[in-house]
């Protein structure tokens, strides 16, 4: 009964918004998005194989039902596909900004999400939480001052972080400075860790954490630099969860080379985190765009888990990408990158693990007419932890100014993290977008992926059927959007 009520609430929200009108002298702009998704997947289950069922090849490898297994102990164990699980999930998002609230410069921004699993036995991630206020703050702008209070989510050089609290920002000519602080929320979630992770993560303290810090930046011409420092501590000051800083800069160098760079630093453990340098240059009036990138990546774990002290090692990657635009919708894109991990300072027995990885991409786009677009691409990712190569293609057709369809196909092969056997899959699907009015858009998609007759991997492990239906409705004032859509 509770589920049915929440479904009704979720799905009726757009109707309520459609009927709502802003009060006089007020302004509101927003959108509501309803998504209903279906997913059927093939779970795996660890099983044992009877000695009598194991067949040994001439080279000594063991198989059960054609699937390669490793028999280092008795009984042999392997993962086998079991009955498919499915789920139908509905999510309702509403985002809005309202202003004209009687105080000059005052506005309110809200983003909320309701979700419910309508049916099925596959547990959709986070669906047990029926409602999230993802963003909800009041903002006051006066001259160069901006004050915010409420739930905020900030995209920064340290990634996305959300908190309940306040922030103050001041812009003075080309300089800006910001300070913020409040109750910290778990990354990727809109709740404090104590609530969101209790029961599913070890060592979750029944305490809030506080996040605070500051940021500053300077911009000149098309260039800008920003630095940020933030610290997260337990509310009872029992310890620091994270203490980090970041710097980001972008500018244009001589010869019209765009330069972008970012780096973050773990102050708590005194080590450099991620870093990135990108050089980009256009040739032939921008038809040919070349990009060189060097980056360093190391995963970050805060100090609330033991993994923060496990000394993960970074990899360094260098890559180049080229994009050739021949005409509208027609072009070619090529990319290649190679990465190498730092010395893990760990002992391995037998043969060493691969220390390098490569990835490559090639994509061709062709638009023989304005109403049709063909894409084909190949991706390769080859590293110690996984291997993937895939072909993708699609034909997008604009049947009418408001209606677009897309037919796509895929084929891929992959090895997962140090797992025996490969998976080869192929599939395809169809998508539809219908812009009904300048404010209402419908979309739908259905795709089916099937594993081909597996050579070494488990049969049917990659089978998947996915479908989605979306309705997006924009409401309130938005003169710019109105003009764009004419």
Partner 1 sequence: MSRLWAGAAIVGAALAVAGVGGAVEAPPPGALQEVADSFPHREHQGLFPLCQGCHEGVAIGEEELRMPQPSLCAQCHDGVDRERVGWVLPAPVVGPLDFSHPDHAERVEQGGEAPVRCAQCHVNSSGPSMALVPLEAARCFDCHGTPPDAHYEQENQCAECHRPLAAVDDGDLRFGGYPKPDGHGGREFLLGVHGAEALESVNRCSTCHVEDQCAGCHVDAGRSPIPQVPRAPADWSVPWIEAEYPKPDSHHSEDFTLSHGRPAPDAPECSTCHTQDDCAACHISPLPRPAEALQERPQVRAPGVGLEDRLPRSHDTPFFLTTHPVLAAAGPEGCASCHTDTYCAECHDSPRSPGYHPPSFGLRHSAAVGTQALECSNCHNRVAFCRECHADLGLEANGRLGAGYHDAEPVWLLRHAVAARQGLEQCTSCHTQSDCLQCHSAVLGAFKVSPHGPDFDPERARAKNPLICRACHLGGNP
Map the footprint of partner 1 across residues 372-411, applying CB under 8 A: 381, 383-388, 390, 392, 408, 410
Q: What is the DSSP string of 199-243?
A: TTBTT--SS-EEEEEEEEEEEETTEEEEEEEEEEEETT-S-EEEE
Does residue 33 belong to the site contacting partner 1 (CB under 8 A)? yes
Which strands sit side by side in the sheet containing 67-69, from one edge to the other? 55-56, 62-64, 67-69
For 120, residues 6+ apart whose C-beta sits below 8 A from its C-beta are: 85, 86, 87, 88
**How many Cβ atoms from other residues are within 10 Å of residue 485's Cβ?**
11
Q: Name which of 1 and 222 has its Cβ closer to partner 1.
A: 222
Please say which residue, 85 or 372, places its beta carbon nearer to partner 1. Answer: 85
Shortest distance, CB of residue 16 to partner 1, whole angstroms?
18
With CB under 8 A as the contact rule, the residue among 61, 330, 447, 459 that binds partner 1 is 447
Q: According to CB under 8 A, which residues from 411 to 440 bind partner 1?
A: 412, 414-421, 425, 427, 429
Q: Site map for partner 1, 268-297, x if CB under 8 A?
A: xxxx--x-x-x-x-x------x-x-----x
Cβ-contact 253, 214 below 8 angstroms = no
Site membership for partner 1, residue 133 (CB under 8 A): no
- The single residue listed with the structure tokens 């970041």 is 246
Residues pairing with 361 in the sheet: 335, 379
Tokens coding 146 = 């901006």
- Number of Cβ atoms within 10 Å of the Cβ of 30: 20
Considering only residues 82 through 101, tell me which ones interact with partner 1, judged by CB under 8 A. Answer: 82, 85, 91, 93, 95-97, 99-100
Cα 12 to Cα 15, 16, 131, 344: the distances in Å are 5, 6, 15, 54
Q: Which is nearer to partner 1, 211 or 289 (CB)?
A: 289
As beta bridge partners, residue 48 has: 77
Among 188, 253, 283, 399, binds partner 1 (CB under 8 A): 188
Peptide bond just before 75 cis, omega within 30 deg: yes
Q: Is 325 in the site for partner 1 (CB under 8 A)?
A: yes
- When asked if residue 21 is in the footprint of partner 1 (CB under 8 A), the reply is no
Residue 75 near residue 87 (C-beta atoms within 8 A): no
Interface residue with partner 1 among 3, 8, 12, 123 (CB under 8 A) is 123
CB of 378 to partner 1, least distance (A): 13
Nearest to 263 by CA among 291, 314, 227: 227
Size, binding site for partner 1 by CB under 8 A: 172
Cβ proximity to partner 1, 1 vs 57, nearer residue: 57
Binding mask 234-263 for partner 1 (x = CB under 8 A): x---xxxx-x--x-xxx-x-----x-xxx-
- C-beta of 373: minimal distance to partner 1 in Å? 15
Question: Which part of the chain contacts partner 1 (CB under 8 A), choosing from 1-9, 12-20, 52-60, 349-357?
Answer: 349-357
CB 469 within 8 A of CB 36: yes
Q: How near is the Cβ of 368 to partner 1 at its closest, in Å?
A: 20
Q: Are 349 and 377 in contact (CB under 8 A)?
A: no
Among 66, 166, 312, 393, interactor with partner 1 by CB under 8 A: 312
Interacting residue with partner 1 among 52, 155, 254, 285 (CB under 8 A): 155
């Amino acid at each position: 009964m509770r589920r049915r009520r929440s479904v009704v609430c979720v799905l009726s929200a757009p109707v309520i918004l459609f009927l709502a009108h802003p009060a006089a002298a007020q302004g509101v702009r927003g959108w509501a998005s309803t998504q209903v998704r279906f997913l059927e997947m093939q779970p795996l289950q660890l099983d044992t194989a009877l000695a009598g069922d194991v067949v040994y090849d001439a080279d000594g490898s063991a198989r059960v039902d054609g699937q390669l297994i490793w028999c280092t102990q008795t009984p042999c164990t392997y993962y086998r596909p079991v009955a498919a699980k499915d789920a139908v999930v509905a999510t309702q998002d509403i985002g809005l900004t309202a202003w004209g609230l009687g105080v000059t410069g005052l506005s309110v921004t809200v983003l909320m999400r309701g979700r419910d699993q309508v049916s099925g036995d596959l547990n959709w991630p986070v669906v047990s939480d029926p409602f999230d206020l993802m963003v909800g703050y009041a903002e006051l702008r006066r001259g160069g001052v901006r004050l915010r209070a409420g739930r905020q989510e900030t995209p920064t050089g340290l990634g996305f972080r959300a908190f309940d609290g306040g922030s103050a920002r001041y812009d003075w000519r080309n300089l800006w400075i910001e300070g913020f602080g409040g109750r910290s929320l778990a990354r990727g979630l809109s709740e404090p860790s104590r609530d969101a992770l209790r029961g599913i993560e070890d060592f979750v303290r029944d305490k809030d954490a506080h996040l605070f810090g500051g940021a500053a930046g300077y911009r000149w011409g098309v260039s800008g630099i920003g630095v940020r420092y933030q610290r997260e501590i337990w509310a009872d000051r029992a310890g620091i969860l994270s203490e980090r800083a970041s710097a980001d800069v972008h500018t244009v160098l001589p010869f019209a080379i765009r330069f972008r760079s970012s780096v973050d630093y773990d102050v708590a453990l005194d080590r450099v985190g991620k870093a990135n340098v990108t050089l980009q240059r256009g040739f032939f009036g921008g038809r040919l765009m070349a990009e060189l990138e060097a980056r360093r990546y190391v995963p970050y774990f805060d100090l609330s888990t033991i993994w923060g002290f496990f000394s993960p090692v970074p990899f360094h990657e260098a890559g180049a990408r080229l994009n050739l635009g021949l005409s509208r919708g027609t072009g070619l894109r090529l990319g290649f990158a190679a990465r190498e991990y730092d010395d893990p300072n760990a002992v391995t027995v037998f043969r060493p693990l691969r220390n390098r990885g490569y990835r490559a991409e090639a994509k061709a786009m062709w638009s023989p007419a304005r109403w049709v677009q063909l894409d084909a691409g190949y991706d390769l990712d080859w590293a110690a932890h996984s291997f993937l190569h895939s072909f993708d293609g699609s034909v997008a057709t604009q049947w009418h100014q408001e209606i677009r369809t897309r037919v796509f196909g895929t084929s891929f092969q992959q090895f997962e993290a140090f797992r025996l056997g490969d998976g080869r899959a192929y599939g395809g699907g169809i998508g539809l977008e219908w812009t009904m009015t300048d404010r209402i858009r419908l979309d739908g998609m259905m795709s089916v992926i099937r594993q081909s007759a597996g050579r070494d991997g488990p049969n049917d492990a990659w089978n998947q059927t996915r479908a989605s239906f979306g309705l997006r409705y924009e409401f309130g004032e938005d003169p710019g959007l109105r003009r764009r859509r004419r």
